[in-house]
Chains A and B, each alone.
Chain A
Amino acid sequence: MARIQTGIGELDKMLGGGFMEGDAVMVAGSAGTGKTILALQYLVNGITQFGDKGIYVTFEQLPDQIYRDAKNLGWDLREMEAENKLRLICTSPSLFLESGEGEHILDEPIKGVQPRRIVVDPLNHLAMFVEKDDLRKEAYRLIMYLKTKGLSSLVTWESTQMNGEFFSATDIGMSFLVDCVILLRHVEIKSSVRKALVVLKIRGSDHDKRLREFEITSKGIKLAAPFSEYEGIMSGSPRKSITDAFMEAFKKR
């Protein structure tokens, strides 16, 4: 099965070579964890490293801000659009949801750009325009539309949890719809906030299950070493593992 590399070397290693082609990937995390940067990096690396064209769909954030923020990371999205390698689409969730009847809002850009990758950021903005029980149905419809078009999609999902339980019941329900789930979260260690990434699942493939620290650098996301010294990171209350705590206490003597 062909893999779609993110172009972030360490992440691709964690994924066993990349996402499976045609799969739907969810990147979930609370505000400020780096979901949008990871999503953009997936598209930009696709264009610059692998020759894969892409489409980026956003609901609330205007493209103008995205062009600016991407430029700060060294990515000239306007130039990529001028070369017809990328298309940024900004629309209302309501219009997006109506796309099932007749022409889809993405039909024309897909024909025009011929992308291999697509990002929807964030998927849960659809929730503002549908009944709670319909969100999963609508998300399923969207994911199946993208799969039918043969696209490798990455959707972001904004979780509200800052500490403790990370996934709410809604989040868990949505995670069943996608083939791969990556979690990003803040962790407090020694009074400073750090960022952690974990691959929760990939259908039909093994993957690295360790929690990795990552940083947002001037060139995008960069993974660091696993949090091997700490336990309980996902709970929001990390503590030194027993072995490390023992070693530390031993050294003090």
Chain B
Amino acid sequence: MSTGKEILNRLLSSEIKGDLLVLFHKNPGLVDTVEGVARRIGRTQGAVETDLKDLVDLGILRRKRIGKSEAISLNRARDQEIQEIVANHIRSLKMGKGV
């Protein structure tokens, strides 16, 4: 189980990951291929694969086989959990600093 600090560091580790998170948070009903997801943030499949894999490993995104293709979508329940873990971590940092 990752800590809030570890998760936050992973989420902030690349610009592409940030773009993917914004895309899926603004469009929670998006279900697309890796190529389709990449196109929607103006990137190529090769450029997003590593970051997509990391978000899938974290459980925020999930992969599902549809026919011969693999579909990527938001795991709404796990995403909610991660948001709470990150929010708690940020709160604890603020309290530690006396903010």
Query: Interface residues, chain A, CB within 8 Å of chain B?
Result: 62-64, 81, 87-92, 94-95, 98-105
Contact = CB atoms under 8 A, between A and B. Distances in A.
Contacts of A90: 27, 29-32
Interface stretch (B2-10, B67-75, B84-92): B67-75
Ranked 8 nearest A-B pairs via Cβ: A98-B67, A101-B67, A92-B36, A88-B29, A64-B26, A63-B27, A91-B31, A90-B30
Chief secondary structure at chain A's binding surface: mixed
A91 B30 contact: yes
Nearest to B35: A92
A94 B30 CA distance: 14
B28 A95 contact: no
B65 interface: yes
Which of A62, A87, A91, A102 neighbours the largest number of chain B CB atoms within 10 Å of its CB? A91
B67 A102 contact: yes
Given A63-B28, A64-B27, A94 B33 contact: yes
Interface string B56-99: 00000000111111010000000000000000000000000000
Contacts of B36: 91-92, 94-95
Contacts, number: 61
A88 B66 CA distance: 18
Contact of A91 (B26, B32, B68): B32
Interface in B12-36: 26-33, 36
Contacts of A101: 67-68
B5 to A, nearest CB: 30
Contacts of A102: 65-67
A145 B27 CA distance: 25
A104 B66 CA distance: 7
Q: What is the interface residue range for chain B against chain A?
A: 10 to 19
9 contacts: A62-B30, A63-B30, A64-B26, A91-B36, A95-B33, A98-B66, A98-B69, A99-B66, A102-B67
B26 to A, nearest CB: 4
A62 B29 CA distance: 9
A177 to B, nearest CB: 22
B65 A103 contact: yes
Contacts of A104: 66
B40 interface: yes
Contact of B66 (A62, A64, A89, A95): A95
B29 A105 contact: no
A95 B67 CA distance: 8
Nearest to A62: B27
A240 B13 CA distance: 67
A94 B33 CA distance: 9
A245 B26 CA distance: 54
Nearest to B25: A64
